[in-house]
Each structure stands twice: as C-alpha cells, then as structure tokens.
Amino acid sequence: MREITSRRSNRHSPALLLSVASAVLATASACAPEKVQPIAPPTAAQRCEALAGAGQALPGMRILSAKAQAAGATVDLGFGGMKSGPLPAHCEITGITGERVGIDGDHYAIRFHLRLPEDWNGRFFFEGGGGTDGNLGSALGSVGFGRPPALAQGYAVVSGDSGHSNELNADPANGGPSAFGRDPEARANYGHAALKVTYDAARALIGRFYSRQPVRSYFAGCSKGGQEGLAFAERYPDAFDGILVGAPGMSLPKAALGHPWTVQAFAAAAGGKSKSVTPEQLAATFTDDDLKLARQAVLAACDTDDGLKDGIIGTVGQCSAKRVDAELHKLQCKGAKSASCLGKPQIAALDKFFAGPSNRKGEALYASFPWDGGLADGGWRMWTIGAPAGSSGPGMTSIAVSMGAGTLSEIFSTPPRVLPPGPQAAMDYLMAYDFDRDAPAIFATSAAFPRSAWEDINARSPNLDAFAGHGGKLIVYHGGSDPVFSLNDTLAWWREADARMNGNAASTVRVFPVPGMGHCAGGPATDRFDGFSALVHWVEQGAASDRIEASAGPATPWPGRKRPLCPYPAVPRYDGKGDIEKAESFVCTAPAK
C-alpha cells in the first residue's frame, strides 16, 4: 500500500505541488489571528481632561474645569503681584455642588479647587480658609513661611469657598462679605457643613484620577482655617490622620464680642461717647511710641520669668494683670500727656482690652488676653485701633471695625442685622453695642434660624474622643499677642480636653504657644517654624514633638534668633550658659509653681 501511494504522488508535477502549497499557506494565513498593536494607557493630561465629565463622582456635582498644568507654572498669590514658586505638573480642577436658592433669594453653592500632581506621594491635603471665606483658595497647600507648599511636596490639595461666593453673595447693600449670614444654610456651611462636602468631592475625584485613595490625609489652616481644622476633629473625626491648626477661631461668635469691646475700650481714651468717635479718632488714641511704652511696661513686669531678659516672655499666659498694671502706672503722666508717658485713659483702655468682654454682672463673655510683648507691633495695631494717616500712608480703619462689625451683626447674631455701608456706620454699631442686651443674640434662634450661630460655628468642644480613637494627631500653634482670638481661650480648651482624657491629651493634641507672635504670624517673635513636618512625623513615625525649633524674621529686633516652641504647659527656659541666640541654649521645662 505504501508503494502505490508513493507512485501516485510521483505522478504530480512540481508546478502543481507548488500551487497546492501556496494555496495551503494562503488559507493558513487567512485563518491566523491578526497581530494587535498594544494600546498605550492614557496620559495624566488625558486622565485630567476626562474628569471634565466626572459629574457623577458625587450626586449633584459639576466639574467647571479640568486642565492639565505643565511643570514650572506659577500662580498669582495676590498681595501686590506675589507669585508662587514653580509648581509640578498637575491636574487643576474647579467644581461645584450643592447649588440652591437661599431664603434671602441669593443663589448659593459649594465650590472647590483641587490640584492633583502627576508625581503623587499618595497623600491628601485640605487647605483651610480665612476670614469670612467666600473664595476658592489657591489649592497649593501653604505649610509655613519659606517652605514649599504641599502640592510641590507631592500632595493632592483641595481648598474651597465654604458655601458662598464673594462674587455672587456679597452685595454691598446687604453687608458685603458678611451678606451670606442672612441665610441659615449658608451659616451652617460656613461653620462646618461645607467642609465635609468639599472633602467628599475631593476624595471622589482623587479616586477617579489615581484609581486609589490616599494612604494619609492632612489638614492645615490658621484663623478661620484653624476653626475649620477643629470642626473636622470634633464633627467629622475620621476624615484626617493629622490636623495642623493655627490661631484657631474656635469660639468665633464669642470672640466677635471682642470687636465692640475693643472699640469701646480704646474709644474711651479719645473721650468718646456713643456715636461720637470716628475710625480716625480711634486710630489716634495711641501713637506708635505710646504702644512701645506699653510694651516696655509688660516686659519690665514679666520678661525675666523664663530666666532671661531678652525681649521675649517665654512664660506665655502667666504674666498677671496686677504686675503689668503696676509697671504701667510707673509710666503714667504726672501732668500733661507727652511722648515719654501714658495718659490715665490710655492705661484704663489697655486694662479693659486685656480683661476681655464681660456683662454688667462681671460675667466673662469671652476669654481675657495674655499680657505679652507683641502689643506694639503693626499687626496688633491694625486689628485693634487701626493706623492714623501720616507720613507712612493714608491710614487704615481698624479690622475690628471694618470686618468685625458686619460679621457680628450679620453672621454671628440672630436675627441678622444688615448695617449701612461705610466705616462710620460700622463704628456707630460697635459703639452702641450693649453687652447685656445684644450679646445673647449669638445663642438665639428663630423660625428662620432654628440653630444659633454658636451651635453652627463654634468648634470649641473638648470632646476629641472619636478623633483620638482612630489615632488622629492634632498640633495647635497660637501667638501670645494675638489680639483677635485669645491664646487664653485655646489654653483653657486644652486643659478641658486634658481633664476629659484623664491627663493624656498630649498623646493626641499638643498646643505650642508662640511668645510675641500676633495673629497667625508677625510680631517680635520667633514666628518661622515647621509645624507641618512635625505633624507628619508624629502621624507616620509615631514620634510626637517635645519642641519645635523656630526662628525670628528680618523685621524683628533680633533677626535670625532661634528659640524652641514648647508644648503647653512646658515653657522654654534658658540653660544659663549657652548662646542666647541659639535654640539649643533653651530647654522645655514644666513652669515654675
């Protein structure tokens, strides 16, 4: 049989065999799968642009813009054209959610600003707001003077407007930036509610862009931003691993009572009665030299309490009014007022301001302020009495007047009251404020405002149980010469939290007073320090800071001076032998009994 087969195959010609082979090969080729080119994964820019259609990341969210920013771009920070340093390549997003019409007829929404770096470190940073909020913020993540922002360090960063817009909800006829206080939901958003909405929106978009969630989350903010950090710790305790808080407005509605108190105290030094003092007269109650005399008295009373006469009262919060008052009266004019002495009304004004607001029964309505060495600083002056016109410029109305009146009347009081525009109307309101009659409005409710301003906006609870329960860490820094939010209030809050935690608050929260520093920064102080790195180290390495090194800026009496900031109740004390300009010459010790 093999032989027959062989003979048959030999009968076919070579040409026929080649033709058959070619046909077989062609058929095989047609049946083989076609070679597929690999599909390149989308670039970061493509993923960024795709977020423009991510409206369903959260119900009701709209992405307004999603744009890839090339490495090296800078951002205008305002402040006279100041720009950021070069930024890394990132996706910049603006979005909106919670659109509605308020009871005042205004259109409200919660807007946010998010930056997602291509080279992500796997961490999330929430940038706190300030003042009355109402703007998107930079979403760069400021972490302190001279230090690269969080975005440049690889963090995904979000900021937001807290639920109202200074472009759409700030009609000058209705109070300008305080106008949103006429709507109860806008108040609640400002106090805390918009924070969680912004947080959720950012986390949803982070998940879409990176296909994973952050391994760590942080918050940092000062002033109103400090209040926001504490609001997160108290109301939304699982949101962050670490929170950095500066000069926290934890008692905002109560602190707002300090504005009429301040104005009335200093206006008395001008001989003013209700409605008879102008902002210009308020600013003229103290010259810069007068304030330097007052600083001299404070330092004479308490400068050496920390073991060294150096222009810094390291024992912040312990300088008593009795001791300072004795030194002030040594400087009291024996006759007519002159540049070398203080008038009796001026001393009375200082005593009243530092005592803090109270009613006719003598009941404290807010905290007292610590006697500290920063009261001659320009920032302290701008918050309290303002600057008179002169060789240095046209003058400036006190912030207690320009911002304080409208926020107290419209945001922190129920029912809200719209003041006529202009600084004199604000001044008149503050001068006529009655602390027995008007102050209870911060706790009042109504049919339109079922929650009081205090309920919606305060962030002063010592109950950090849930925050501590998930391992959260909180660092608070606060200037001893902050004339807006009192360090004494912050220290009292920490003592209450420590008592609640059976003396173990330091395992969760540490407060670092900054002697001489004003509101968030400035003053004759070592106000340049890296609290954020200390926070991250605590969260990620488990090592809490027993001191944070700080340095003095060029505008201080001692440029380059270094001191440790100590966690309350410890204070920095000179070791008696080292260079007084170096931090290593000071130790953080328990305060003297």
Let me know: does 138 contact 77? Beta carbons within 8 Å.
Answer: yes
CB 315 within 8 A of CB 302: yes
In the annotation, is 537 catalytic?
no
Angle at 508 between CA 212 and CA 193, to 5 degrees: 60
Contact of 142 with 159, CB cutoff 8 Å: no
Compute the distance between CA of residue 63 and CA of residue 93 in angstroms, rounded to an integer. Answer: 7
Phi first, then psi, for residue 295 (nearest 5°) are -60, -40
Dist CA 572 CA 274 (whole Å) = 44
Q: What is the Cβ-side half-sphere exposure of residue 289, based on CA atoms within 13 angstroms?
A: 8
Longest Cα–Cα distance in the chain: 144
The one catalytic residue among 90, 113, 259, 519: 519
Stretch (H or E) spanning 161: none
Both structure tokens of 373: 């060495």
Inter-CA distances, 219 with 462, 473, 529, 534, Å: 19, 11, 17, 13
DSSP secondary structure string for all residues of 163-191: T--TTTS--GGGTGGGGGGGSHHHHHIII
Q: Where are the beta strands (DSSP E) in 46-121?
A: 62-69, 76-78, 82-83, 90-101, 107-117
Residues in Cβ contact with 534 at an 8 Å cutoff, skipping those fewer than 6 apart:
475, 545, 548
From CA 593, how far away is CA 575, in angstroms rounded? Answer: 18
Q: Count Cα atoms within 13 angstroms, Cβ side, for 379.
A: 19
What is the rounded CA–CA span in Å between residue 347 and residue 196?
Answer: 46
Task: Supply φ then ψ for residue 551, to 5 degrees.
Answer: -130, 160
Do residues 543 and 537 touch, judged by C-beta distance below 8 A? Answer: yes
CA-based Rg of the chain, rounded to a whole angstrom? Answer: 31
- For 557, residues 6+ apart whose C-beta sits below 8 A from its C-beta are 311, 524
Catalytic residue among 482, 489, 498, 527: 482
According to DSSP, residue 305 is labeled: G
Q: Is-catalytic flag, 223?
A: yes
Is 482 considered catalytic here?
yes
**Sign of the CA dihedral 474, 480, 486, 490?**
positive
CA distance 411 to 413: 6
State how beta strands 107-117 and 123-127 pair. Answer: unpaired
Active site residues: 223, 482, 519
